[in-house]
Amino acid sequence: MSATHEVRGVGHSVERKEDARFIRGKGQYFDDIVLPGMLHMEILRSPYAHARLKSIDASAAEALPGVVAVVTGELMAQHNLAWMPTLSGDTQAVLVTDKVRYQGQEVACVIADSPYVAKDALELIEVDYEPLDAVTSPQQSSSEGAPLIRDEKEGQTDNHVYHWEAGDKDATDRAFAEADSVVSLDTFYPRVHPAPLECCGCIADVNPATGKATIYLTSQAPHAHRTLFAIVAGLPEQNIRIISPDIGGGFGNKVPIYPGYVVATAASLLLGRPVKWVEDRTGNLISTGFARDYHMRGELAVKGGKMTALRASLLSDQGAFYADAQPTKFRAGLFHIVTGSYDIPSAHVVADGWYTNKAPGGVAYRCSFRVTEASYLIERLVDNAAHELGVDATQFRLDNFIQPEQFPYESATGFVYDSGNYPEAMRIALEKLGYDDLRREQEAARADGRLLGIGIASFTEVVGAGHGKEYDIAGLRMFDSAELRVHPTGKAILKLGVKSQGQGHETTFGQIVAQELGIPTEDIEVQEGDTDNTPYGLGTYASRSTPVAGAATTVISRKLRDKARGIAAHLLEASPDDIEFEAGRFSVKGSPERAKTIQDVAFAAYTDLPDGMEAGLEGVTYYDPPNMTFPFGTYAVVVEVDRGTGQWKPVKVVAVDDCGVRINPMIVAGQIMGGLTEGYATAAMQKIDFDEDGNCIGSNFTDYLIPTAWETPEFDLGELTTPSPHHPLGAKGVGESATVGSPAAYVNAVIDALWHAGVKNIDMPLTPDKVWQAMHEAGIAE
């Protein structure tokens, strides 16, 4: 066995190291944690979407044996904790003091000896509400005479949250005036929910003797949460320790700070005992960070077969509080990636956010800050343009792609794309699909009365959250960190500022160290999630782990390798310039037999150093990326539609992704399949809806459907590798978001496939009854 194979660095499909404990039931998830003397907290939630709070009578609940305390907004206000800042610079109620603003909002909390007593006590709390009219859409929110949702905010006279623009309006207007044709589209990307397997939770343990607060939290960003806890609760930051254990899924849902976290911490501080809160499924679905909920209009100008300009306007449903988890500077996230994979000379994007009586908190759910919505809009427009112009949508894309020689490419909205080869991704996808043969099969199927459709979608995404000067969350620059320590025996510990929720960090980041230092992967321990024992970082979301923390890991590994080279030169009595390194072995140029292993050098770092060199082989680095990375791909879906029921079934799904250099191809493939499954779920079944009174329809897994292995189609994956020129490894990121374009690309490909099957002018969700109605109107239903 060669040393290179033993090391198993970048490019090897190493089995996930963390799975050894998970499949044996030895993982430590949040709800596994039990502390001595621990109390339990449950939350009373509002049944109304909008109502004035007239009074709360908690006397019966307080008298129930086992109840320790009932916490209300009035009590929190006495400690200046009734309101808290959001990640977007707004304020959010911790517990209601004036009125409820969405169904499921936190009204009061019961703290008891057991969760069962706490739940029973909730039913004894009497709340007197004065119902108010609810606002459930941006259109309704912006209409004349709409109820004012945020009447507590000084100077707030309407429900408008923000206005934001990108691009060049004048240049775009000129291009539209000169266009041969203009294609427009009004569409809605409905609200969906990340719905992680494990809901949110917090155990706050504030020691009254030391003032030290240890908070166990389902957190994707423990260091950022520690800073925000210090700001909200007024605790000294050095006295706060956040521990994020194994997390059963996140998908952006565990980035915000939720009221339950704050109340549990305040209660522990006041009671001097640990307080545990675990969210139930309904609480998770109706009150925590959602995704999408964008009403969009797009216009595409075409001249001589070329896309010349793009207009995009959107209304963002923010819910009752503006709590999006996204870069501060960009009010609509990174939606200005809406020009996608196309060489569009001019574009103008306008976004407006509006308060509604819904849960707040747009999150990066398999998308990097609203990128999925942007990808969805441009691909729908491109398909519609091809249909209206009577040209093949595949060729139309090929004619308008940014070409490989144009990179680095500056888009009309100001992004600088790092690298790409869009035509090649398309070619691979069509070849894997058997496109020409399928078109012939489609014609034969139509002759037999079968409805077969083929849909194509391309995407370019923007991930990693670039240079900290431009990108921050709540003022914290979006760098990340890596601390690497090599012990005398040649074993290593890597500590990171990010936090895995199932992406395989313990395996892939160990492979980076193995690649750079030649230490076998099994000799590398990766640690995350404990703020007392890891360097400060911004966490894991929006596919930023590999682009940022992966780069930090590479940089610190190379710094230690440079030091190790000097030690090896000392041991080999040679100049450092004459030392070569390969696969964990330092040798003298021209004399390969004169060599020392990384293990030899590590031992010498603590025992036999050159004069003047500091002992040890360890260090820490903070990586602030010079730019974001731009993964891309092309997806193709073949569907068959039942003419009698409207039920559609994916017959074949091809996905070609380019996420730059793949550290662990097996893990990347799994992440891509996860994103494709989410795309299928959005297309087929997932939607959080509301009635006119603001009641949430989708508050459980009976109403909010999650696809199982039974419904989920098989995926045929292809790949392309276009390294990012500015990333130390050439990686672009796949991580939690599966190259992030996949959900939108999948949905677009399905809609396009349905169009080619004769089901036209249909929008999400693509339910059988909606499909059948469109077929009926087209005269092709049975």
Pairing of strands 524-527, 492-496: parallel
Q: What is the 3-state secondary structure (H, E, C) of 591-638?
A: EEEEEEEHHHHHHHCCCCCCCCCCCCCEEEEEECCCCCECCEEEEEEE
Show Cβ contacts of residue 6 under 8 Å, excluding neighbours closer than 6 positions.
520
Structure tokens at 467: 């240079």
CA atoms of 566 and 574, how far apart (whole Å): 9
- Tell me the DSSP string of 99-158: EE-STT-EEEEEEESSHHHHHHHHTT-EEEEEE-----SHHHHTSTTPPPS-TTSTT--S
Structure tokens at 39: 């109390």
Residue 85: exposed, middle, or buried by beta-carbon count in 10 A (0-12, 13-18, 19+)? Answer: middle
Query: Which residues are paired to 635 by β-bridges?
Result: 457, 655
Q: Half-sphere exposure (CA, 13 Å, Cβ side) for 739?
A: 34
Phi, psi for 387 (deg, rounded to 5): -65, -45
Show Cβ contacts of residue 55 under 8 Å, excluding neighbours closer than 6 positions.
127, 128
CA atoms of 332 and 162, how far apart (whole Å): 9
Q: Residues 106, 379, 678, 736: which is the catalytic one? A: 736
Whether 298 and 185 have beta carbons less than 8 Å apart is answered as yes
DSSP letter assigned to residue 70 = E
Annotation says 366 is catalytic: yes
Q: Where are the beta strands (DSSP E) in 691-730?
A: 696-697, 716-719
Give, in order, the Cα–Cα distances in Å from 632 to each of 119, 247, 638: 48, 28, 21
Longest CA span, the chain: 87
Q: Residues 109, 199, 200, 367: which is the catalytic one? A: 367
Phi, psi for 526 (deg, rounded to 5): -110, 125
Show Cβ contacts of residue 283 under 8 Å, excluding neighbours closer than 6 positions.
43, 45, 104, 199
Q: How far is Cα of residue 483 from the mean position of the Cα atoms in its chain? A: 24
Annotation says 367 is catalytic: yes
CA atoms of 753 and 135, how far apart (whole Å): 35
Whether 520 and 713 have beta carbons less than 8 Å apart is answered as no
Pairing of strands 716-719, 346-355: unpaired
Annotation says 200 is catalytic: no
Position of tokens 């499924």? 281
Q: How far apart are the first and last CA of the chain?
A: 63
Look at residues 322, 354, 319 and name the one whose alpha carbon lies nearest to residue 100. 319
CA atoms of 60 and 41, how far apart (whole Å): 17
Structure tokens at 8: 């198993």
CA atoms of 287 and 259, how far apart (whole Å): 10
* Residue 2 CB coordination number (10 Å): 7
Look at residues 561, 731, 555, 580 and name the one whose alpha carbon lies nearest to residue 11. 731
Phi, psi for 574 (deg, rounded to 5): -140, 170
Q: Residues 8, 226, 331, 366: which is the catalytic one? A: 366
Annotation says 522 is catalytic: no
Supply the residues annotated as catalytic.
Answer: 220, 366-367, 736
